[in-house]
Amino acid sequence: GSCCTVKIHEPNEEKIGEVWIKGPNVMLGYYEDEEETDKAITDGWFHSGDLGYIDEEGYLFLTGRCKNLIITGNGKNVYPEEIEVLISNLEYVEECMVYGYARKEEDPLDLSIGAKIVYKTDVMKDNYNASDLDAAENVVKIDIEKINEMMPSYKQINKLVVTDEPMVKTTTGKVKRFEEAKNL
């Protein structure tokens, strides 16, 4: 077919790497922006910015975005999207963001996992009898502990920010991760 070829660039031991795509229907470059084009395309392979792997049957699975990947202090890869899905399943979560933070200022590469959770005040009040921030925080802490128990230590959430204030978002409603993380 006239479809495209997909390959995983520099896969790690879990076979996960950046998804590169080549084919007739793949973008040829950024209009009049050679520098961005060079960053995005190598020998006709388009760098998707998505991380993923291809299973034995040849199916492609996406695990997250390259720029969101957190590499922890012990060199483990953590895909924030994977943990965010678990947190989003909690009924009172309006939005959430998982990020890497440096445990010690003097060691900026020793990253641990943090989460910011924006809760729905009405659900907290009606279903958990939690009408202020402290009460809401306690509800969230218990649930995060349960999520942590299901995960290997390097994926566990060690820092928690709980708020009812919405996060900074783009015009399309995506959380601006880097702006958010700066303020944490």
32: which residues sit within 8 A by CB, 6+ positions away?
none
**How high is the pLDDT of residue 86?**
95
Whole-angstrom distance, CA of residue 148 vs CA of residue 160:
12
**How high is the pLDDT of residue 4?**
81
Confidence band, pLDDT 50/70/90 cuts, at residue 173: confident
State the pTM of this model.
0.80
Residue-wise pLDDT tens digits, 122-151: 999 999 999 999 999 999 999 999 999 999
Residue-wise pLDDT tens digits, 25-52: 776 667 777 787 777 888 889 999 999 9
**Structure-derived torsion over alpha carbons of residues 14, 88, 130, 114, reported in degrees to the nearest 10:** 40
**How high is the pLDDT of residue 27?**
67
Whole-angstrom distance, CA of residue 142 vs CA of residue 157:
12
Tell me, what amino acid is at 51? L
